[in-house]
Amino acid sequence: MYVFAYLLPNCSVLGTNGAVVVNDEAANATKGTDFGTSSAGLPVTNMFSITNSGTETLRITGVTTSGVGAACFAVNGMPGAVGAGGVSNFTVTFNPIVVGLQTTIVAIANSSTNTPYRINFRGEKLPSYVVCADYDGDRKADPGLYDEATGIWKVKLSSANYYLITTTLNGLGGPGYASVSADYDGDRKADPAVYREATGRWVIMLSSLNYEVVVVLTQTLGGTGYSGMPADYDGDQFADPGVYQRVSGDWRVMLSSANYASIELLGLLGGTGYMVVSADYDGDQLADPAIYGESNGIWLFKLSSAGYVSFAMTQALGGTGYIPVPADYDGDGLADPAVAQNSTGNWKIKLSSGGYSLLDLPNFLGE
Ligand SMILES: [Ca+2]
Ligand SMILES: [Ca+2]
Ligand SMILES: [Ca+2]
Ligand SMILES: [Ca+2]
């Protein structure tokens, strides 16, 4: 004897990890509906699927996006129908064209009882890059921020009682350019510099040439997927241009002491969710490769004075909403771990000269 089961079409959306994205649930990083933060400003695409466990064809009758960040999200490849017992894919691209937290709701109208199927997405574009370096040459780092959207640089000079300078630097930078300031000419003053991820182009304004000459690196370094991260790894006081592949954690560095020959360090440190924060943390004048966890505020170092063995800072510093801003703020020759929260302008610095106790600077420097 048969019991005839007639099942209506059923609509279920699966996330990037294959788990069900429940109708109207909050955006979730492991399911791919939370795109996290993007400091590079490059589009990210995630694939989702729609399953139909019913015995009738599921019809998709319309897709709408709403919410303040709708312009930053695009839905592609939405099927018109999913057959009985079938599955079909679509993609959502987060294109962080606007600074700040972006959210949208994608509503999928369909022929099941689970309609409209609402999916919450979120993603965030960090507004500024960090440009903390010693621009005035007094051995103390000068806190700074650079806004990619406007090309405006803000720096508080330590030698002028942290007086704030706001400048466009004759148009150095702008959309598509990240800051990579460091002392490239070895005169102890940081040189404002920018790196274009799309092309691997480096542009440097040299302090030793009165900031009047803009130098472009003759060879490209980096490109899509690579973050710029200069530091003086060989200890000759000339910054070494370097890049970091954010997914694999591969590093490439052009050593100034080796005529800028490029060395590759595969899987050195980092990977997805980590930023490079290399600086000289142990004060031996050799930069120490280091990474920072964007969401958890974990810091990991390979200290040059300790054979480059990896070790982690005992306490987290920063996390979601913060950008790392390590530099030698107290001028004792050791870099100080630090983070800044752009939305509030709050900074937190662990000064090496103060036993790495936490210094809170509310409303210090932000947008
Ligand atoms: Ca300074
Ligand atoms: Ca310089
Ligand atoms: Ca060097
Ligand atoms: Ca060191």
pLDDT digits (tens, 9 = 90+) for 177-208: 999 999 999 999 999 999 998 899 999 999 99
Residue 184 Cα to ligand 3 midpoint, Å, equals 8
Asked if the model's pLDDT at residue 6 lies above 80, the reply is no
Q: Tell me which of 26-40, 278-292, 316-330 is least confident.
A: 26-40
- Asked if pLDDT for residue 233 goes beyond 90, the answer is yes
Report how far ligand 1's centroid is from the alpha carbon of 158 (Å): 5
- The bridge status of strand 117-125 relative to strand 34-38 is parallel
Output the 3-class SS for the chain: CCCCCCCCCCCEEECCCCCECCCCCCCCCCCCCEEEEECCCCCEEEEEEEECCCCCCEEEEEEEEECCCHHHEEEECCCCEECCCCEEEEEEEECCCCCEEEEEEEEEEECCCCCCEEEEEEEEECCEEECCECCCCCCCCECEEEECCCCEEEEEEHHHCCEEEEECHHHCCCCCEEECCECCCCCCCCECEEEECCCCEEEEECHHHCCCCEEECCCCCCCCCEEECCECCCCCCCCECEEEECCCCCEEEEEHHHCCEEEEECCCCCCCCEEECCECCCCCCCCECEEEECCCCCEEEECHHHCCCEEECCCCCCCCCEEECCECCCCCCCCECEEEECCCCEEEEECHHHCCCEEEECCCCCC
Question: What is the model's pTM?
Answer: 0.73
Share of the chain above pLDDT 70, in %: 95
- Region 231-256: mean pLDDT is 95
Please say if the pLDDT value at position 142 is more than 70: yes
Tens of pLDDT, residues 279-302: 999 999 999 999 999 889 999 999
Categorize the per-residue pLDDT at 344 as very low, low, confident or very high, splitting at 50, 70 and 90.
confident
Ligand whose nearest atom lies closest to the CA of 286: 4
- For residue 97, report the distance from its CA to the centre of ligand 2, in Å: 33
CA of 258 to the centre of ligand 3 (A): 9
The number of the ligand nearest the C-alpha atom of 278 reads: 4
CA 188–ligand 4 middle distance (angstroms): 17
To 5 degrees, how large is the angle CA 60–CA 66–CA 71? Answer: 110
Instruction: Calculate how far, in angstroms, residue 286's C-alpha sits from the geometric centre of ligand 4.
Output: 4
